[in-house]
Structures are given as C-alpha cells and as structure tokens.
Amino acid sequence: MKANCWYGKEDMRVEQVNDPKIINRGDIIVRVTLTAICGSDLHLYGGFVPTMQKGDIVGHEFMGEVVEVGPDVKKLKVGDRVVAPFPISCGACFFCEQGMFSLCENSNPNAWMAEQMWGHSPCGIFGYSHLLGGFAGGQAEYVRVPFGDVGPIKIENGISDEKVLFLSDILPTGYMAAEQCNIKPGDTVAVWGCGPVGLFAIASAFLLGAERVIGIDRVPYRLRMARENTKAETINYEEVSVLETLREMTGGRGPDHCIDAVGMESHSPGLQYAYDRVKQALMLETGRPIALREAIMACRNGGTVSVPGVFGGFVDKIPMGSLMNRSLTVKTGQTHVQRYMRPLLDRIQNGDIDPSFIITHRLTLDDAPDAFRTFRDKQDECVKVVLRPS
C-alpha cells in the first residue's frame, strides 16, 4: 500500500510499504477514505519529537471502511464506516474506566521510554513516535486499529466524511480545551492560536456558554476565519501588546479563562523568541512556551489556563509566581477523544456545528509531503489539509 512516511526533519516521503495485518484478536483493519494533517504532525516535521525512526508512517486523523476484523471484535463488521480516535485505548484499565482514555495503561508497548522522560506514560498514539508506541499511522491506504470495539465510532448515515473526520482529534481537542475551563454564562475566554485546534476551541467555548471569545494569532486569514466563522473578536499579536489589549478589553480584570492552542512551537515578535529559539536549538529546552507564558500572565485571578497545545519535554521561564499567587488552575492533556465522539457526533448531526468549515485544501495522499510545507508555512491561506488516499 501507499503511505506517508517520516524520514527526518522536513523530509516526508510517500512510499510503497507492506499492508497492515491483524496482530491481536481485537484489531480491525480500516481502508482509509479520508485523512488529515494535524498541527501535532508539524512537531514531527520540525524534528521536535524524539524517538521517530526513518520510515515511520505518520497520521492520526483518519476514517474509512472496515475491511477486516479480528476474532474478538463484536461491535463492528466488514463494510462498516468508522472514524478512529487518535488515542489507542483498551477501554478496561483504571484510566479508561474513568473516561481518561489518553492515559490508557495498556496501549503503549514502549511505556518505559515515556516513563524515563515524563515519569509515567500516557496511551499509545497512531503515527506519533516510538515513545508513544511506534504504531503505524493513518496517512496511508490502510491502517491497523487496535481495540476495534473501543475506539472507532460507527457512522451510520450518509453524512459526509468531511463533516465527521475531525471527531478523530481536533474537534474533541478544541471542545475538551474549552470544557475544562468550566465556562459560566457571561465569561470571556481568550484563545492563543487560530489554527484548527484554536478555531474549534473558540467555537466550543461559545457552545458552552461563553459570552465573548477572543482569538489571538498573527496570520490575517486565520484571524479572519475566527471572526467570520466563529464570531470571535481577534487580536493580532504582531500589531499590539496582547497583555495590554486583553486588559483593556476586559475592564482591567483579564479573561476568565485562557487557552493555549499553540504549544511548543510558538512564535513571538519580541526578544524572548530569539532567547527560546537559541535554547531550543541547543537542546536546553525542548519547546518555546511563549503563548503559554502569555496565557498565564493574562488570565484573571482565580481563572483557568487550559493547555491543549502539545509540549514534549522541558521549557523555561514559566511564571510560576503568577500561577501560584493568583490561584490559577491549569488543565491540560492529550484529549480523551473517545469520551467526546458520540456527543459531538450528535451536535454535528443536529446542526450545532459543522466542523468542515476549516478545510481549505483537498488533496491526495501523494501530495502529503508538499502539503506539510504549505500547512506549516501558512501558504495559500492554508488552515486544514485533508487527503484522499486514492
């Protein structure tokens, strides 16, 4: 089959590889009908995620048709149409039973690697390094999905692939980022990053009752999408001081909740960007937490800082004094996608949200290497790329 493989920093190649096979009794094989490139894939592309190996198949947002089921699979059959969640989760361990699927204790065969770096391991993830299991990803014609009865959600009616694909990751991610702020009516939420995750965090904050949502970015067409498609107010961080502007917009108090939907590769027009780039290049820190620092400083006393943005290791100059002295709550996590798929599918079906508004590029799997660059460099007004394997 054809698959998009990682070969190193900024080196993706579409290659012929072996078809996946059923390995465990609960596995299914999915023929991918639509897949996408995630902002998290850009961290692989930039070479910021350790334990990638040449030839690894990437991709963790995918859906398709079940073409084979293991002998223990009961809920799905060949021919079913499914969306798979990016966390691989057993459904039966301590964490899965509490709905914390991205912390599954049974799905990362390389947990020892993650334990060395993070103390404990989260779940395995498709196409996202050996540290997170070394699973082949879904930017491919076929993919093996472990725990077929637990993760994949069956799509019963004729609703289009484009409307449901993002249940695999970014729609639940934006939603969980907003949900964990415990938004009350009248609240103001600020969201750093108007990429796919930021846009869904903004839309979700409104769905959950926020009165005002303020999107922050520097890319004009993404800020425009935030204003036009989600009714957010926006700030261009290259034009004004974000901290001052937020203070002014909120009567001096600061937003009630702040969401960092940027993560480890954040950018800044100021001096701290040079500082973080140098430290990151020398491996003295593994991420540039510029948006995170700003989100902490901006948040009103007693508010929530929610961090869906991905970080890999260690970062510098986190304003701990600001967090501690002002009673802030930090919430974070790889998304517990399985918890949100059914309720968000219902919201898509009843018209509360149509997630396909973010798609700007419809390409084929062969275009994946170029599409990574277009998405990373924000060329051609790119917000989200979807790829058809054939």
CA-based end-to-end distance of the chain: 11
How many Å separate Cα 207 from the centre of its chain? Answer: 19
Q: Are strands 2-8 and 56-57 parallel, antiparallel or unpaired?
A: antiparallel
Check residue 382 for interaction with Zn ion (CB under 5 A): no
Compute the least distance from the CB of residue 288 to ligand NAD, in Å: 8
Residue 57, burial from CB neighbour count under 10 angstroms (0-12, 13-18, 19+): buried
Counting residues that bind Zn ion (by CB under 5 A) gives: 9
Interface segment toward Zn ion; rule CB under 5 A; list 164-172, 233-241, 348-356, 366-374: 164-172
Nearest to 100, CA basis, from 109, 91, 112: 91
Residue 4 interacts with Zn ion (CB under 5 A): yes or no? no
Note whether 104 binds Zn ion by CB under 5 A: yes
Stretch that binds Zn ion, among 97-105, 176-184, 283-291, 320-328 (CB under 5 A): 97-105
Closer CB to ligand NAD, 13 or 218, in the complex = 218
- Give exposure, 135-166, as e/b (b: 16+ Cβ within 10 Å): bbbbbbbbbbbbbbebbbbebeeeeebbbbbb
Q: Do 375 and 42 meet the contact criterion of CB atoms below 8 Å apart?
A: yes
Q: Which does 291 bind (CB under 5 to 8 A by kind): ligand NAD, Zn ion, none?
A: ligand NAD
Residue 260 near Zn ion by CB under 5 A: no
Where on the chain is the footprint of ligand NAD (CB under 6 A)? 38-40, 42-43, 169-170, 173, 192-198, 216-219, 222, 237, 261-263, 266-268, 290-291, 308-310, 334-335
Output the six-digit token pair for 135: 């699973």
Which entry of Zn ion, ligand NAD, none binds 266, CB below 5 to 8 A by partner kind? ligand NAD
Minimum Å gap between C-beta 310 and Zn ion is 8
Q: Which of 38, 191, 202, 292 binds Zn ion (CB under 5 A)?
A: 38
Q: How far is the CB of 332 from ligand NAD (least distance, A)?
A: 8
How is residue 338 written in tokens? 């399985």
Closest separation between CB of residue 265 and ligand NAD, Å?
A: 7
Name the β-bridge partners of 11: 8
Is 234 a binding residue for Zn ion by CB under 5 A? The answer is no
Report d(CA 249, CA 262) in Å as an integer: 22
Which of Zn ion, ligand NAD, none does residue 334 bind to, with CB < 5 to 8 Å depending on kind? ligand NAD
- CA neighbor of 101 nearest in space, from 74, 122, 73: 122
